[in-house]
C-alpha cells in the first residue's frame, strides 16, 4: 500500500476527543453521492449528512476554507454547481434547497422549501434552473439565482436522481431502478428499466411442491438459471458522451433456504443481492454490463471530465474501484459467473494518522468525484476526511475535516459486508426496505419490511413474529443467513438504538384536506374496524392476526405506509387501492367491501397522509 501523507492544519486538531472516551451515538444511513468538485477543479464541497453541515476544501492549498452548520436533522444530500458558480445542496430531512454564493462562501445565501424529502438535483443551463427530485414524487424547479419554486409537478413516488438531456430530464426511481424521460411540460415520455439478466442459482433449491423462483419464471433446480432483476438505483450520472450510467443492485430471484449452511450463497459464490452497472445511450435500450465493481452498497459513481475513467464507491466493502470506462462499460453481462474479483481487499492501515484512537482506519467511503487533472477525491465521513488520489499511482493525500471521528457500532454493523457480499442495508437501503418480495423454501413469499419509524417499539419482528427482539434476529439473520458471523453483545445492543433514530418516510402533501378528513372518519369508524388492529402512535397493536391471507401475520405499522408499495406479506397489492380491491380485502381484514369507490379513494388519501 502506498504511504499516505496526512495534511492536518493545527486548528483542526483542537478539540479532538480524548483517548478512551466513548463517542456518543452517531450517524445516519449511508445514501452516497454527497460531494462534488467544482468545474474548475479548485474546490471539493462536501454535504455531511452525519453532522448536518457543509464543508468546502480548497484543493489547491489542501485546506478547509468553510464549515457551515445546518439545522440539526437537515441531513444534506446531493450537491451541484450552477452556471454562475453557486452551490446548491438538497436537505433530505430539512425539506429544502440551500444555496451558497460560491464554493468559498462561509454562510448560506438562501434556504428554499422544496418538498418533504428532496433527493436528486440537476442544473439545466438552457433555462438557468435547478431541478429537485423528491421521494414523494414531486419534481420541483427553481430559478438558480433565487426565489420560490417556479414549478412543482407530481410525477411518481420514490424519485431519486436527475440527468439533464437537452430539454428533457431523465429521472430515476430508487427502489425500482426505473428511468423516466420527462419533457419540458412535465409529461413522462418514456419509461425504461435495466433488463433482467440470468444468473446461476443454488441458494436453496426448489420448493417442496417443485415450484421455482417466485415471479422470476425461470428454472428452479439448485444451480439452474434464474432471473436477476434490477433494483435500488443508488446513483445515476451522465457521461461526457451523452450516455447515462447507473450503479444499482440486482435481486437474484432464486428460492432462499433460511437454514442453508453458509448463508444464502449461490453456485457463483455470491449472495441474492449483487452490484450492477447499466448504461443507457440516447435512442438505445439499457445495456447491462459485466460489473467489475464487486461488493455491497454501490452508493456512488463518478467520471472524469474526459470520460476516460469511472470510479464506483462500494461502501459495504470500504473500497473505491477505478476503471477504464471503455473496458468497464463495454463488456455485456451474459449471465456467466462474474470474473475473478479485481478489487484488492480493503486496507484500512492508517499508520500515519496517529491521532486516531481506533484501528478502523478511515472507514467506509460514501462519495467520489474527479478533478479536471484526473485526481480522484473520496469522502470518508467517519474519519472525517477526504482523500486525494493522483491518477498515476502517486501516494494519496488526506485532508482531515473538522470534528471528531464518527463512531457507532450499530451503524457499522448495519452497513458491514458479510462473506456473501451483502449487508443489512442491501435489503434495507437507507434504513427502509427494497420493495421486493423474496421466495423462501420454508415459508413462501415474504415482502421486505421497513426498519424506519420507531423500530424498538415494534417487536416481535418478521411477518411471522418469530423474532422476539433485534438481538435474537441478528443471531439468526445476520450471523447465519447472511453469513456475517456472531456479533458481540455491544454490537447487538447498539443496533436497535441506532435504527430507532431513523424516521418513517414523510407523508406527501395533499391539497385535498377534506378527503383526508373523510378518510380518517372511515378509518376510525366502528363499521370499518381498522383501529381494532391499527391503533396507537404507530397504528399497530404488534399482534399476530389472521386477516384471511393464509395464516397469522404481524400487524404492520402504518407510519409512512404510502411509501411502502407493494403491500401485504406477499406483496400481492401493488398499490394501496389494490389492498382494498385486488387482495387483502377479506372480511377478516376490516369491513371495507361495502365502501363506494369515492370512499375508498378518501381512505387511501388518509393513509397516504400518515
Encode burial over 490-510: b for 16+ CB neighbours within 10 A, e otherwise.
ebbebbbebbbbbebbbbbee
C-alpha cell recorded at residue 558: 402504518
Burial degree of 269 (CB within 10 A; 0-12, 13-18, 19+): middle
Question: What percent of the chain is predicted at pLDDT more than 90?
Answer: 80
**CATH 1.10.760.10 domain locations along the chain:** 513-608
Tell me the average pLDDT across 63-82: 98
Tell me the average pLDDT across 427-454: 96
pTM over 0.75: yes
The larger pLDDT score, comparing residue 5 to residue 461, is at 461
Instruction: Give pLDDT, residue 21.
Output: 43
Identify the CA nearest to 23 among candidates 289, 532, 408.
Answer: 408
CA distance 141 to 122: 10
Instruction: Give pLDDT, residue 223.
Output: 54
Counting Cα atoms < 13 Å in the Cβ hemisphere of 378 gives 29
C-alpha cell recorded at residue 475: 443471531
Instruction: Give pLDDT, residue 335.
Output: 73
CATH code of domain 513-608: 1.10.760.10
Instruction: Give pLDDT, residue 392.
Output: 77
Identify the CA nearest to 556 among candidates 466, 433, 459, 477.
Answer: 459
At 519, phi and psi to the nearest 5?
-65, -40
Q: Strand, coil or helix: what is 574? A: coil
> pLDDT category, 58, cuts 50, 70, 90?
very high
Q: For cell 479532538, what's the residue?
A: 16
Give the pLDDT confidence of 130-146 residue by residue, as tens digits.
999 999 999 999 999 99
pLDDT at residue 59 is higher than 90: yes
Computed over every residue of the chain, the mean pLDDT equals: 88
The secondary structure of 479-530, three-state, reads: HHHCCCCCCCHHHHHHHHHHHHCCCCCCCCCCCCHHHHHHHHHHHHCCCCCH
Instruction: Give pLDDT, residue 10.
Output: 27
Domain 31-192: state its class: mainly beta
Strand partners, 397: 5, 388
Give the pLDDT confidence of 355-384 residue by residue, as tens digits.
333 334 789 999 999 999 999 999 999 999
**CATH 2.130.10.10 domain locations along the chain:** 31-192
pLDDT at residue 522 is higher than 50: yes
Give the pLDDT confidence of 136-175 residue by residue, as tens digits.
999 999 999 999 999 999 999 999 999 999 999 999 999 9
Amino acid at each position: 500500500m502506498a504511504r499516505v501523507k496526512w495534511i492536518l492544519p493545527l486548528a483542526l486538531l483542537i478539540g479532538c476527543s480524548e483517548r478512551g472516551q466513548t463517542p456518543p451515538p452517531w450517524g445516519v444511513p449511508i445514501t452516497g453521492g454527497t460531494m462534488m468538485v467544482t468545474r474548475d477543479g479548485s474546490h471539493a464541497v462536501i454535504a455531511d449528512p452525519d453532522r448536518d453541515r457543509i464543508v468546502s476544501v480548497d484543493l489547491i492549498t489542501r485546506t478547509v476554507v468553510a464549515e457551515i452548520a445546518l439545522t440539526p436533522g437537515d441531513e444534506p444530500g446531493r450537491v451541484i454547481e450552477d452556471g454562475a458558480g453557486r452551490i446548491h445542496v438538497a436537505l433530505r430531512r430539512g425539506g429544502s434547497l440551500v444555496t451558497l454564493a460560491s464554493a468559498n462562501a462561509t454562510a448560506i445565501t438562501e434556504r428554499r422549501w422544496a418538498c418533504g424529502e428532496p433527493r436528486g438535483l440537476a442544473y439545466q443551463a438552457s433555462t438557468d434552473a435547478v431541478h429537485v427530485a423528491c421521494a414523494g414524487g414531486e419534481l420541483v424547479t427553481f430559478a438558480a439565482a433565487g426565489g420560490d419554486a417556479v414549478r412543482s409537478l407530481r410525477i411518481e413516488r420514490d424519485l431519486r436522481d436527475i440527468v439533464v438531456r437537452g430539454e428533457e430530464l431523465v429521472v430515476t426511481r430508487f427502489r425500482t431502478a426505473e428511468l423516466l424521460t420527462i419533457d419540458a411540460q412535465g409529461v413522462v415520455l418514456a419509461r425504461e428499466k435495466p433488463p433482467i439478466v440470468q444468473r446461476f442459482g443454488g441458494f436453496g433449491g426448489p420448493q417442496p411442491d417443485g415450484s421455482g423462483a417466485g415471479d422470476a419464471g425461470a428454472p428452479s433446480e439448485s444451480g439452474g438459471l434464474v432471473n436477476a432483476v434490477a433494483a435500488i438505483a443508488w446513483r445515476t450520472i451522465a457521461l461526457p458522451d451523452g450516455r447515462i450510467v447507473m450503479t444499482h443492485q440486482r435481486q437474484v430471484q432464486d428460492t432462499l433456504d433460511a437454514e442453508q449452511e453458509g448463508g444464502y450463497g449461490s453456485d457463483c459464490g455470491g449472495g441474492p443481492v449483487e452490484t450492477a452497472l447499466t448504461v443507457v445511450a440516447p435512442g438505445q435500450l439499457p445495456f447491462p454490463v459485466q460489473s467489475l465493481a464487486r461488493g455491497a452498497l454501490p452508493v456512488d459513481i463518478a467520471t472524469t471530465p474526459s470520460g476516460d475513467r469511472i470510479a464506483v464507491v462500494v461502501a459495504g466493502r470500504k473500497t473505491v474501484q477505478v476503471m477504464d470506462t471503455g473496458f468497464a462499460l463495454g463488456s455485456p453481462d451474459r449471465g456467466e459467473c462474474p470474473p475473478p474479483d479485481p478489487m484488492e481487499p480493503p486496507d484500512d492501515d492508517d499508520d500515519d494518522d496517529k491521532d486516531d484512537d481506533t484501528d478502523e482506519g478511515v472507514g467506509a467511503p460514501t462519495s467520489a468525484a474527479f478533478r479536471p487533472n484526473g485526481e480522484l477525491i473520496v469522502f470518508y465521513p467517519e474519519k472525517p476526511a477526504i482523500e486525494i488520489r493522483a491518477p498515476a499511482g502517486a501516494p494519496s493525500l488526506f485532508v482531515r475535516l473538522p470534528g471528531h471521528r464518527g463512531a457507532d457500532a450499530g451503524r457499522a454493523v448495519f452497513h458491514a459486508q458479510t462473506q456473501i457480499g451483502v449487508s443489512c442495508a442491501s435489503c434495507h437501503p437507507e434504513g427502509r426496505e427494497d420493495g421486493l418480495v423474496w421466495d423462501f423454501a420454508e415459508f413462501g413469499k415474504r415482502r421486505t419490511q421497513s426498519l424506519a419509524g420507531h423500530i424498538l417499539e415494534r417487536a416481535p419482528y418478521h411477518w411471522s413474529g418469530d423474532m422476539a427482539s433485534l438481538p435474537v434476529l441478528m443471531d439468526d439473520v445476520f450471523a447465519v443467513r447472511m453469513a456475517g458471523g456472531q456479533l458481540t453483545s455491544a454490537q447487538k445492543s447498539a443496533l436497535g438504538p441506532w435504527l430507532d433514530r431513523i424516521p418513517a418516510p414523510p407523508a406527501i402533501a395533499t391539497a385535498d384536506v377534506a378527503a383526508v378528513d373523510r378518510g380518517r372518519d372511515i378509518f376510525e369508524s366502528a363499521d370499518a374496524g381498522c383501529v381494532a388492529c391499527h391503533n396507537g402512535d404507530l397504528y399497530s397493536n404488534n399482534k399476530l392476526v389472521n386477516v384471511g391471507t393464509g395464516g397469522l401475520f404481524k400487524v404492520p405499522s402504518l407510519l409512512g405506509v404510502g411509501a411502502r408499495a407493494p403491500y401485504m406479506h406477499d406483496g400481492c397489492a401493488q398499490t394501496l387501492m389494490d389492498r382494498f380491491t385486488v387482495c387483502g380485502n377479506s372480511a377478516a381484514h376490516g369491513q371495507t367491501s361495502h365502501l363506494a369507490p369515492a370512499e375508498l379513494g378518501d381512505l387511501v388519501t388518509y393513509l397516504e397522509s400518515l
